[in-house]
Amino acid sequence: MKVVIAGSGAMGCSFGFMLQKSGNDVTLLDGWQNNIDAIRKDGLHLQDGTAELSTKIDIYKPEEFKDSADFVIVFTKSMQLENMLSSIKHVLRDDTKILCLLNGLGHTETLKKFIEPKNIFMGVTVVTAGMKGPGSAVLSSHGKTEIQNIVPEGKAGAELIVETLNKATMPAVYSDNILWSIWRKAALNGAMNSTCTIMECNMLELGSIAGCKDMMRCIISEFAAIARTQGVTLDVDSVTDYVYGFTQPDFVGAKHYPSMHQDLIKNHRLTEIDFLNGYISRKGKELHIPTPYCDLITTFVHGKEKLFGL
């Protein structure tokens, strides 16, 4: 299968590496010139657990790549999605399948501007990954990826994608309710990514802070209130237990720094806050639903962005 990874940071490099290793023809697309140069010169390096792996793999800027693809996975930042899709329109044939694994909320409408609904697949992954530097990624945990078509005629395509990822040892399952999973993942990110970024800590360190679980419950309650207006029911207690579990010492990836922390604190880049807590804050104002925790978190993260000169 001809696979294109649109956005080749930590997650894109990890999925791309494993998909190529399992026999697919993979091309990475990225806008980070240092990453492109390093991979072209020395190949892509991946630390998978204790294994140090490397492979030669094609990488281009999106506008430089002239071929089409059978399957595209988008791993851009949320705010970059529309620009990426615009720049790879030539890659998308009438039968090209595209899987969106982005954090955050509201991406389906953006995808529909460029792709027929039958070829759009939404997913949620709890894979954790990071970048050591240009051309070098760390795959911290092979978490599960859930996938679903957004219209009934896409089910066979979703099942093919699940099969392809499983062959690449990236555990995947077909979901009957991906919208619920997307909202639960957004609540996870809203309670974990943004707080680790504000506190400048990893997940294990966050969990050691007194009152952490109660704070998470308050944030998740606000996500649940907005989800309810869109027909999605999140059980606050069970989601809180799920999220808090990632901060505990028995979770293999507990020392992982979430992607928002990597973006802002490590690399001084803008965050996806407006598609997470910021989305909840914005919808809360529109619907007259109080969201004080998400309001404050959004203000703090934007404040840190400004202090970094972004």
Segments of the chain scoring below 50 in pLDDT: none
pLDDT value at position 27? 99
pLDDT value at position 140? 86
185 is catalytic: yes
32: left (phi over 0), alpha (psi -120 to 50) or beta: beta
Cα gap 61→83, rounded to integer Å: 13
200: left (phi over 0), alpha (psi -120 to 50) or beta: left
Strand partners for 211: none
Q: Are the C-beta atoms of residues 228 and 239 closer than 8 Å to each other? A: no
Cα gap 53→42, rounded to integer Å: 12
Do 179-307 and 2-176 fall under one CATH topology?
no
pLDDT value at position 139? 95
The first and second tokens of residue 103, run together, are 């954090």
Largest CA distance in the chain: 54
Which residue of the set 77, 97, 185, 283 is catalytic?
Answer: 185
pLDDT value at position 259? 87
Cα gap 81→100, rounded to integer Å: 10
Q: Are the C-beta atoms of residues 198 and 187 closer than 8 Å to each other? A: no
pLDDT value at position 143? 87
pLDDT value at position 252? 84
What is the identity of the amino acid at 258?
P
Q: Are the C-beta atoms of residues 79 and 107 closer than 8 Å to each other? A: no
Domain boundaries, the chain: 2-176, 179-307
pLDDT value at position 246? 94
pLDDT in tens, 225-262: 999 999 999 999 999 999 999 999 999 889 989 989 98
Specify the residue for token string 């991406």: 107
- Among 72, 205, 188, 78, CA closest to 127: 188
Instruction: Name the CATH topology of 179-307.
Output: N-(1-d-carboxylethyl)-l-norvaline Dehydrogenase; domain 2 (1.10.1040)
pLDDT in tens, 168-209: 999 999 999 999 999 999 999 999 999 999 999 999 999 999
Taking each helix axis from N to C end, the angle separating 155-167 and 10-21, rounded to the nearest 10 degrees, works out to: 80
Q: Are the C-beta atoms of residues 28 and 58 closer than 8 Å to each other? A: yes
Q: What is the pairing mode between strands 145-149 and 172-174?
A: parallel
pLDDT value at position 49? 86
Specify the residue for token string 């720094």: 257
Instruction: Name the CATH topology of 2-176.
Output: Rossmann fold (3.40.50)
CB atoms within 10 A of CB 88: 22
